Structure 1
């Protein structure tokens, strides 16, 4: 996927993000996020790497998002 492809999915009901060069469709997860939906929604359609790799996330979060991986950034 390109950054332009990801940018087309910037709504809470159609939410893609980039994390470490991978593309994730978090549409089904956004309302389940323990930190609140806004924490994910603010990066909708863009790069969420900085927020994702912050100290607030336990290591198991990597396993959770892998379920939503849809591809790699070109």
Structure 2
């Protein structure tokens, strides 16, 4: 086990010359890896100053990428310094599946309403022309 850091201490390491990440309760100094990261250094730099576990897991890193992490390990987090997720994290983003479901609903609704609207207009025009004559 390495040294124990607070989130405030970890957050100070947030640039290209000194970059630390917090993933799964462990602290990693990834400064030397910034230039080699396949996703670019910006991806790592934007994950500083917070618990980057979700960001890391969302990408689906390979087992070899996970084993590389050992060489960057510098310590652990004092878990009492991590804010609760419900207070400080934004609501979850809408997933593509959720967006597809919403789009499907709108399309089905329009497929039902548009023909009714056309039918209603046709009867309205017909009734109007009969009453005008």
6, 9, 13: which one aligns with 1:5: 9
Distance 1:58 1:42, change over 3 A: same
Q: Which runs of 5+ in 1 are unaligned?
A: none
Distance 1:43 1:55, change over 3 A: closer
> Could you list the runs of 5+ residues in structure 2 that have no partner in the other structure?
79-133
Between structures 1 and 2, the one with greater helix share: 2
What is the TM-score when the length of structure 1 is the normalising length?
0.90
Q: How many residues align?
A: 74
* Structure number with bigger Rg: 2
Q: Distance in 2 between matches of 1:45 and 1:27?
A: 14
Say if 2:33 is the partner of 1:51: no
Q: CA RMSD in A?
A: 1.2
Runs of 4+ in 1 over 4 A off after TM superposition: none
Structure that is richer in strand per residue: 1
Per chain length, whose mean CA-contact separation is higher, i.e. which structure has more relative contact order (CA < 8 Å, sep 6+)?
1
